[in-house]
Amino acid sequence: MMPHSFDRTWKSNLKELLAEITGCDVIPYGYCNFGREAQPDAISAIVEGPEVAPSLVPTLDPSVEEKAYEYLERIRARLPEGFVAYVGTTRWLAPLVDKRETDFTASSPDAEAKPSSGSQPVGDYQSVINNFVAGGAFKRVTRKMQPRLGIELAIGPGSSQLDIPRLAKTVSLDDGLTTEDIVDKLHSLDERFGINILHAATDTLSFELLARASNPVELAEEIFEFCPDLQCTETVEQYAKKLQGEKGHVELWWD
């Protein structure tokens, strides 16, 4: 059950900070599982912006991501001790159904669709579409039925940045990695290089390396072993080049 009010003192206090910096409405919970589940131990704001081009699979303009990370830096500069801030869900599999923008016509009174009175996550996007079409209760679905477009900025309690993937519930189901497995690897990398975790979501995570690796190819091989899906897009050698900058940027994703 999703909380609907800022019922904790810290949420009320940090709500003002998040709203001031992002200029967005603040939600009294965070998101996990691609936006299909609430994370009651966080608050969040969704940074939205223009699409690259209207299409059946809309994509945010890259400037929105730049803006979100700029907000993150500003939030962290003012965050009190005992809390963490991070970029959370960016890939949404939960649509927003808004009664005011959705028109449904049922094939029979018993099959009448009853969308919610407000915008909220309602489950898997494709499943919702399939159910409406199969039931003959689908007349017109506006863009509100598409997966949400936006980048989540979240704040939650944490003793260190290693609590970020815990709040985001980051896992790799295909590889059998639990959240704590991922936290253990991040802890190891942090001890050896120092890291700055920027983003964590259901199956993605990114961070900066604060010290250069003396052997970037060896580190890239370690990262590829931990996150085999990276091999789908680039080689170890290509990835190693990303680790050679002043702050190597590491992006992990699991399907």
pLDDT 10s per residue in the chain (255 long)?
334 445 568 999 999 999 999 999 999 999 999 999 999 999 999 998 766 555 555 677 788 999 999 999 999 999 999 999 999 999 888 765 443 333 323 333 333 333 333 334 444 444 544 444 444 433 333 444 456 789 999 999 999 999 999 999 999 977 889 999 999 999 999 999 999 999 999 999 999 999 988 999 999 999 999 999 998 889 999 999 888 876 788 999 987
- Residue entry with tokens 């709203």: 19
Question: Does residue 152 sit within a domain?
Answer: no
- In the DSSP assignment, the letter for residue 126 is H
Among 246, 193, 202, CA closest to 223? 193
Distances (CA, A) of 11 to 2, 24, 41: 15, 15, 9
Give the structural domain span for 201. 160-255
Q: What is the pTM of this model?
A: 0.77
Among 150, 9, 181, 157, CA closest to 87? 150
- What amino acid occupies position 45? A
Whether residues 109 and 63 fall in one domain: no
Of 94, 119, 135, the position where a domain reaches its end is: 94
173 within 8 A of 51, measured Cβ to Cβ:
no
Distance CA 88, CA 128 (A): 24
Q: In what order do the strands lie in the sheet with 26-27?
A: 26-27, 43-47, 151-157, 83-87, 195-200, 204-209, 248-253
Whether residues 67 and 52 fall in one domain: yes
End-to-end Cα, the chain, rounded Å: 27
93 within 8 A of 35, measured Cβ to Cβ:
yes
- Residue entry with tokens 């931990």: 226
Whether residues 176 and 227 fall in one domain: yes
Q: Please give the tally of structural domains in the chain.
A: 3
Whether residues 182 and 115 fall in one domain: no
Whether residues 42 and 14 fall in one domain: yes
Of 63, 78, 94, the position where a domain reaches its end is: 94
